[in-house]
Structure 1
Amino acid sequence: MTTLVRVDWTDPDLQRLVTAQEAEVIERYGDEMAAQPLEPGTVAVGLLVRDDAGVAVGCGVLRDPAPAFQAGTAELNRMYVVPEQRRKGLAKVILRELEAIAVQRKVTQLVLETGVLLEEAIGLYSSEGYRIIDNYEPYEDSEDSRCFAKAL
């Protein structure tokens, strides 16, 4: 059984997973697609999923409000599951919990950016009701980015 835990942006397990996620993105895309840095004060909620042994194997964060949008819109960021734990539905569990947290926070829309080569991520977001939108700042000129939104 997995456990979901809310954490601060500075949590060591969250930072370890974020570092792994960033390394995977750079491996697929190169340095030009390195993740936009997140300032500690911009992350409203960090979320970890822990396996039966208590090891953090997945994460996601919620930025509320999303910097490029008006109040009521939050951004999903740093969604990641370690490779050996993929295809078990953990990303969907993280996504749905972040959506529930957003609703609790009175968020009416979620947005996110992912890479065009991340077919698994695009499939997840599409299957969960996210629709493709124009790329928003700071991704508006990136051909490697795909942005999504979902009304809550």
Structure 2
Amino acid sequence: MADDLELHVERRIDAPVETVWRAMTERLEEWFCPKPWQARVRELEWRPGGRSAVVMHGPNGEKVLNEGTVLAFEPNRRFIFTDAFTAGWRPAEPFMVGVFEVEPDGDGTLYRATARHWTRDALERHRAMGFETGWGAAADQLKALAEEIT
């Protein structure tokens, strides 16, 4: 995958990796999409091949279903999902692969979220949708949540 088809956000979080990981996976609804939007987990199987179905609810009644498949789940390290498949490995119109990683950084944690795209057009559509602002806000929300529960 060419790096020029990736968008990234990073944050240093003043909390141990284990705390950040618990916030990422156990409290996903609290940080996953920028406020005033809200994420609601319909189904999320934390295992390779597991279904990922999260509905994002907007302030004006919008509903956006993000459905896909978990590709990798490595506790205290990373999880990866894609929308290229839905439950039962049914092919879908692919947009991206989402990679969410944590690693020790001194007495804190480095959080990195990456959106990998198949095409330049998909990357530019994601950027135009507000990737930096939206994923940046979600990263800030995760940071605040993890630092609060430390």
TM-score by length of 2: 0.33
**Higher RCO (C-alpha 8 Å, min separation 6):** 2
TM-score by length of 1: 0.32
